[in-house]
Copies of this chain bind each other. A is one copy, B any other.
């Protein structure tokens, strides 16, 4: 499996992905799932992929080929993030239908900014349609998304600083790594400051990365401490007392 999250706050966007791919237990490999489309000072896109590796690679390859060949429709011709998501969705649907007798589904997160518009992120379903993030839900996830959702729900809002959002993405990834063996390092994180048109604040954390280890250890220890400090319930009370005299 895979876990990818994209966060869009006022200050910009954060993208985070793991790198484990498996086709059966004997074929566990490492593939980056983060792809940057640096189209200069007027448009920047980042794509994260989850699902069938062949489909994902076919989609990324076509996005690149279309650009190289200046096809009629490319990431250079789309006029909005939403249109970019539609374009990617069409490519994805065709790639999946080619081999439709089997399950070659893939999902994508696409984010970016086009000069004159605000930055934004989208999630593209295997069916090719997509949704955007919103004020109330400033993040989107694909793959093994549930383990890492509670911390995002608690921390991320539109006003979260970009660096805090990046840190929260790492903590969310850590929760997923810990609870699910099919998600694995290296972890990639990309910070895109709003209106920067620069996707080079890109970080790659190997399993033995010192910072990642310090982060895990610190978070683990703090959670255990926080748990100890929780208000105690009087568990010795007899049956059905909880609603009456709980504390």
Contacts and interface: CB of A to CB of B under 8 A. Distances in A.
Interface of A: 144, 146-147, 149-151, 153-155, 162-164, 166-168, 170-171, 175, 178-179, 189, 191, 200-206, 209-212, 214-215, 218-220, 222-227, 229-233, 235-243, 246-247
A184 B168 CA distance: 26
Contacts of A206: 243
Contact of A242 (B178, B211, B247): B211
B210 A247 contact: yes
Contacts of A191: 235
A239 B200 contact: yes
B150 A203 contact: no
A219 B226 contact: yes
Given A200-B239, A211-B247, 19 more contacts: A146-B179, A147-B147, A150-B178, A162-B235, A163-B233, A164-B227, A171-B230, A191-B235, A201-B236, A205-B246, A206-B243, A209-B242, A210-B246, A211-B231, A212-B246, A215-B230, A218-B229, A218-B230, A226-B226
B147 A150 contact: yes
B200 A238 contact: yes
Contacts of A162: 235
A219 to B, nearest CB: 6
Given A163-B235, A218-B231, A149 B179 contact: yes
B218 A222 contact: no
A205 B179 CA distance: 28
Contacts of A189: 242
B167 A153 contact: no
Q: Which 10 A-B pairs have the closest CB atoms?
A: A146-B146, A211-B246, A203-B242, A222-B226, A150-B175, A149-B179, A200-B239, A163-B235, A211-B247, A202-B239
Contacts of A242: 189, 203-205, 209, 211
